[in-house]
A and B are shown apart, each in its own frame.
Chain A
């Protein structure tokens, strides 16, 4: 193969005075920032909508179901484009201008990715709550808990433990999905990947490095969740898991 391997290009200076390996590191930083922020938003939204879908209230269920259906059935890149290019045109002119000019890309991207991931987490949370026996809720109500208190003290603590493995893979998916935010101007890892290829044509080296970088962050997340799983395990419960083994 007449491909010219050159691992040292990472230490060459790019147009902006930084070296290419620094581009990779800055991309990695943005990827982690976007992913973790989106994951936090997604956990909040997913929990709220997931809980709503298990309440006895017909309207709350309908709202929760609609959220999940809408955000699961439209591709992520289309959702991001809706937030970035369609929403500013639909709101009043002043707000639209503000969104286009002053609102940092990061905020819009993170909300977009958060809403997308939240729908998946809502599905998991709902499944977790529904996997508990009805008696758990009845027992809570019999103790004089309000409906909300049965969630807070009885059902959610168990449900979260049950869905932790599923949440782990969602958390790892967020890193992969965060790559799509390059399309709306976030300078994350994939954006840098594309940019470095355009500048240097060292496709193979950079592909290997970026792949490893994604692998490392996903693996670190996996270990973190395994640790949480182990620490939060309830002795004697199978659902507590084996700490991600």
Chain B
């Protein structure tokens, strides 16, 4: 332990920071995209048309029952095949770009379940009240139900985002250079596993711990008084 070499971190901090930036970018993209797609899926799942319900349930259950690492690799390999089939041309995507897509579609399934329970936590009377005021379905959802639902589920959505932030480290499977990937590549070159992996662990811990405390604080602040 005595020979923990901080200079390794100092000389490589730029590469590590690049990795962390990529991790944050994937997290934010997947969060925004996942919540949008997840809202759509949740509304489909709660719709009165059974084909919509069935489609949404199939999507959600599928992604919730496969390991993320497998999806990351499968999309990375299958997406180019699919694009080639659709456009007739070979389009190289690259590991870094395919991860944005993978995490968005994967996290959407998890966000959808959170959003569904959020929507269901809004009392039925609110929907009835919307219709009674002459609102259409989309107006009722947009102006009455979703704003309340999102307020209720904000802490859970953010907690899921912290999980997502940690899960980005799994792009290791396709060799993309996220924060952990960057540290791993430096380790392969300099053979300093202790310094590199410990740094990653500490940084992840500090960030996620701080964020989860923030979520806890938020939870107490925004609880709806009924």
- Is A153 at the interface (CB under 8 A from chain B)? no
Please report the C-alpha to C-alpha distance between residue A72 and residue B66 in the assembled complex, in whole angstroms.
21
Please report the C-alpha to C-alpha distance between residue A79 and residue B209 in the assembled complex, in whole angstroms.
15
Please report the C-alpha to C-alpha distance between residue A81 and residue B169 in the assembled complex, in whole angstroms.
12
Please report the C-alpha to C-alpha distance between residue A182 and residue B68 in the assembled complex, in whole angstroms.
13
- Is A74 at the interface (CB under 8 A from chain B)? yes
The contact string, 1 if C-beta is below 8 Å from chain B, for chain A 114-135, is 0000000000000000000000
CB-CB under 8 A from B172, the residues of chain A are 77, 183
Contact B67 A73 (CB under 8 A): no
Contact A81 B209 (CB under 8 A): no
- Is A48 at the interface (CB under 8 A from chain B)? no
Shortest B176–chain A CB gap in Å is 13
Please report the C-alpha to C-alpha distance between residue A115 and residue B124 in the assembled complex, in whole angstroms.
42
CB-CB under 8 A from B74, the residues of chain A are 203, 207
Please report the C-alpha to C-alpha distance between residue A178 and residue B67 in the assembled complex, in whole angstroms.
9
Contact A207 B69 (CB under 8 A): no
Shortest B165–chain A CB gap in Å is 9
Asked whether A214 and B70 contact (CB < 8 A) given A78-B180, A82-B201, A203-B77, the answer is yes
Main secondary structure of the interface of A (DSSP, over half): helix
Picked from B68, B84, B166, the residue with its CB within 8 Å of the CB of A176 is B68
Contact B204 A194 (CB under 8 A): no
Picked from A82, A193, A218, the residue with its CB within 8 Å of the CB of B198 is A82
Contact B204 A75 (CB under 8 A): yes
- Is A86 at the interface (CB under 8 A from chain B)? yes
Asked whether A77 and B180 contact (CB < 8 A) given A89-B194, A179-B70, the answer is yes
Asked whether A1 and B85 contact (CB < 8 A) given A77-B169, A197-B77, A203-B74, the answer is yes
Asked whether A74 and B201 contact (CB < 8 A) given A90-B1, A176-B66, A179-B69, the answer is yes
Contact A77 B78 (CB under 8 A): no
CB-CB under 8 A from B85, the residues of chain A are 1, 3
- Is A177 at the interface (CB under 8 A from chain B)? yes
The contact string, 1 if C-beta is below 8 Å from chain B, for chain A 197-230, is 1000001100100110011001100000000000
CB-CB under 8 A from B197, the residues of chain A are 78, 81-82, 85-86
Please report the C-alpha to C-alpha distance between residue A175 and residue B201 in the assembled complex, in whole angstroms.
23
CB-CB under 8 A from A3, the residues of chain B are 81, 85
CB-CB under 8 A from A79, the residues of chain B are 201
Residues in B lying within 8 Å of A, measured CB to CB: 1, 65-70, 73-74, 77-78, 81, 84-85, 162, 166-167, 169-170, 172-173, 180, 184, 187, 193-194, 197-198, 200-201, 204-205, 208-209, 212
- List of 5 A-B pairs having minimum Cβ-Cβ separation, nearest first: A179-B67, A73-B208, A75-B166, A85-B193, A1-B85
CB pairs A–B below 8 angstroms (5 shown): A69-B209, A70-B205, A72-B208, A75-B170, A219-B65
Sample of 9 more A-B contacts, CB < 8 Å, known A77-B180, A183-B173, A218-B65: A3-B85, A77-B169, A78-B169, A86-B194, A90-B194, A176-B67, A190-B67, A203-B81, A214-B66
